[in-house]
Structure formats: structure tokens, C-alpha cells
Structure 1
Amino acid sequence: MPPSHPDVSATAVEPSTIMAMTDATPSSAQPAQAVLREAVHERIAELFTRDSAVFGRDLAPYRGHAQRVAALVMGQVDMRPDWVEPVAVASYYHDAAIWFEHTWDYLPGSESLAAQELSRTGHEGEAALVTAMIDEHHRVRPARNPHPLVEATRRADATDVYRLPLPPHVSRDDYRAMLKRFPDNGMHLMLGRGFVMGLKERKRLNPMPMVKL
């Protein structure tokens, strides 16, 4: 069972607050995007600070991965204030049940944890979107959900995990900057340990239960 958490509803950035901060006009569109992107990274950082003990030695590699996934998602879309919480929560929780529930079959648990977080912060209305972002993020083919954040999340995770070609609108220099700000810190060693967990847990029948065609 995941550990209980204090009420963190005050830490979630409300869309109305961000809208006031950005007040986007044609000349301020790029600064507005920067504000929204930074709000996502700050929200993810808050969650990792709160739950740092859960991740143990995998804190640094998973934190870097989650932040890069968020950055890659946001590099593919024009961010909106009401997308800050979904992108942050989906990026943070997309693999999180590996540590919260000690399982390699982690999609259902990660979706449940994300829904609980959205409920704590008063964003229950985003649960269906965040569930889809997590549930589809290991699909081999394009996501079976039309929302742009769902496919953006799938592409973002594939890029960071498998080093596949970069998603649309993200350059190699962009990705290098992401790695510089949010270092890898042994992410693939972390994934290797998870795969061994899967072999033991699934008795070799299906060591990759999260992958969908």
C-alpha cells in the first residue's frame, strides 16, 4: 500500500493562477510557454521531495526520467494552463507503482496513485486524461486516444527509454539540454533491476506486462 501523504492541495498550481501569470499575447507567447513548463517541473520536484523515501537508490534516476518525459511532452505541444497538473502528475506517476507497490506490473497501480493525487488536489476531472497518458505510454503503435498529450507521452517515454528518434518539434540540442538539466543518473541500470524483478515476479511468462501493441 502507498504511504499516506499530507494534504498537498495547496501546492498544486491552479490554472487560473497560471493564466494570470502568463497573460499571453502574441508577443508574450514564448515566455508564457516557459512559465507553464517551469510550473510543471516545479510540481514534479515537489512530489519527489515529498515522496523521496519511497524511491530509495532509484530516486535520482527516476526523478531525471520523469522530468525529461515531462519536458519531451511539453516540447511537442503548445502548453495550456489546465494541462500543467495532468502533465506533472502523469510524468511523475507513470512508472511509480514499481516503488510504491513493489511490482513490475505497474500500470494499474500507477494509474490508481495518479488518480488519488488528482483527487487530493481537486483535479478529479483530469483523471481520465491522466489515466490514458499512463496506460498508453508503453504502446508500440500510436496511442489509441485522440488527446494530444496521450500520444506525446508515449513518444516522450519511448525517446527517453529506448533512445528512439526524437519526437516532433524536439531537436537534438533540446534533448541535450534536458539531459544536462535532468541527468540520466543510471536510468538504464535502474530499468535493468526492474526487468529482473519482472522475471522473478512473472515467472518468465510475461516479463514485460506493461507493453501493449
Structure 2
Amino acid sequence: MHIEDQIPLLEELLLEWKKRIGDEYMGYHNHVYRRVHFCLSLKECNDEEREKIIIAGVFHDIGIWIEDTADYIEPSIPPAMAYLERRNLQAWNEEITLMITEHHKLREYKGELSSLVELFRKADLVDFSFGAFKFGLPKTTVKAVKKYFPNASFHKNLAKLAARWFVKHPLNPAPMMKW
């Protein structure tokens, strides 16, 4: 597997959020790189699919830092839509939105535009589960990507965010999850 350590579009988009993300930047940066690599390892993608994966990857959790909340899915969508509008890519709005809104779905996504939406969901689960779920990815691939793009406290910071949320919302402990 070829690991890309610099993906120009990804770097450009994430850099716009570096100040907002602050000390958690490297953790999110590496999370996005891991999930992009997992997507591209699970499916051979054409250039358009690859670009969609990168765009959705950058924006999929950005609502964490916009709203400082564990209920971050919906706040992650407007910046993605604004970016697509700036690039005159509004034809991708529905698919990118679904990639963001469905990426924590626990069951397979079978709706419209399911190919990339489901791929994106699987890649996030590979990363979120620390490779416990692989969806056919070789263990060596998961290990290599994780080694190249270390966690940098990403999951630890998510756990802290979730704990703060749970104290205030015990009846809705995981608002970002879907069945």
C-alpha cells in the first residue's frame, strides 16, 4: 500500500481550520488522513470519488470545534456546503451531506448514493475501532496507516468531549450515532 503523507487538497482545507481546532489539530489531521487512506484501500476510486472523500473527510467532524459539542454532525454540514459553493460543486451537496450525516451509522447505509456513503462509514469505523473492524482490509494496511498517522490523542479528546456531554445529557449519551 502506498501511503500519501501530503494530499494537497486535504492540507489546504484543514489549514483553514488549524487555529479553530487548536491543540487538537494534529489528532484531527491524522484522523482525516487515516480515514482517507482506509477509503482508498477499501475501494479503487476515480479522481472525483477521491476528491469527495477528501472534502467529506475534512468536514465530517469539524462541528466539534464549531460548536464545542458531541452533537457535531449537523454543525459540520454548513462549512462543507459553503466550500462546495465556492468551488461551484453544488451538484455534490447531497452526497457530501450524506457522507457526513451517515458516517456514524451503526448499520450499513443502503439509501441513495450508497457507494461512497457506505465506504466513508466503513473507513470511519475502521479508525474509530482502532482497526477492530477492518471490512476486509489487511491487518498490515491498518497497522501501517496507524503508524504513519498516529492517533495524537484524537480518541482521547473525543472521550473527554463525550464525557462532558454525558454529564449534561445522560438520556442522549451519543447524539452523533445512528442506527
When normalised by structure 1's length, the TM-score is: 0.76
- Shift of residue 115 of structure 1? 1.1
Deviation digits for residues 172-194 of structure 1 (CA, Å, limit 9, x no counterpart): 11112212221111122111121
Cα distance change of structure 1 residues 129 and 38 upon mapping to structure 2, 3 Å threshold: farther
2:89 corresponds to which residue?
Answer: 123
Taking the aligned partners of 1:178 and 1:38, their CA distance within structure 2 comes to 10
Higher mean C-alpha deviation, range 174-183 or range 89-98:
174-183
Taking the aligned partners of 1:180 and 1:38, their CA distance within structure 2 comes to 13
The structure with more radius of gyration: 1
Are the counterparts in 2 of residues 40 and 87 from structure 1 also a CA contact under 8 Å?
no
Deviation digits for residues 73-128 of structure 1 (CA, Å, limit 9, x no counterpart): 11111111112321111111111100022222111111222111111122111111
1:18 corresponds to which residue?
Answer: none
The one-letter amino acid paired with 2:156 is L
Which has the bigger relative contact order, CA under 8 A and spacing at least 6? Answer: 2
> Which of the residues 88, 99, 104 maps onto 1:138?
104
Are the counterparts in 2 of residues 40 and 84 from structure 1 also a CA contact under 8 Å?
no
Matched position secondary structure for 1:167 = coil
> Which of the residues 73, 93, 108 maps onto 1:107?
73
When normalised by structure 2's length, the TM-score is: 0.89
> Which of the residues 135, 149, 174 maps onto 1:167?
135
Are the counterparts in 2 of residues 40 and 85 from structure 1 also a CA contact under 8 Å?
no
Are the counterparts in 2 of residues 199 and 207 from structure 1 also a CA contact under 8 Å?
yes
**Aligned positions of 1:141-160 closer than 5 A:** 141-145=107-111, 146-160=113-127
Taking the aligned partners of 2:22 and 2:105, their CA distance within structure 1 comes to 28
- Shift of residue 39 of structure 1? 10
Taking the aligned partners of 1:58 and 1:148, their CA distance within structure 2 comes to 31
**Aligned positions of 1:87-102 closer than 5 A:** 87-102=53-68
Deviation digits for residues 108-166 of structure 1 (CA, Å, limit 9, x no counterpart): 11122211111112211111111111111111110133531111111111111123321
1:23 corresponds to which residue?
Answer: none
Runs of 4+ in 1 over 6 A off after TM superposition: none
Report the RMSD for the aligned CA atoms in angstroms: 2.1
Are the counterparts in 2 of residues 69 and 91 from structure 1 also a CA contact under 8 Å?
yes
2:160 corresponds to which residue?
Answer: 193
Q: How many residues align?
A: 177
Cα distance change of structure 1 residues 39 and 188 upon mapping to structure 2, 3 Å threshold: closer
| Unmatched tracts of structure 1, length 5 or more | 1-29
Taking the aligned partners of 1:130 and 1:106, their CA distance within structure 2 comes to 15
Matched position secondary structure for 2:7 = helix
1:54 aligns with 2:20: yes
Are the counterparts in 2 of residues 47 and 92 from structure 1 also a CA contact under 8 Å?
yes
Taking the aligned partners of 1:160 and 1:203, their CA distance within structure 2 comes to 26
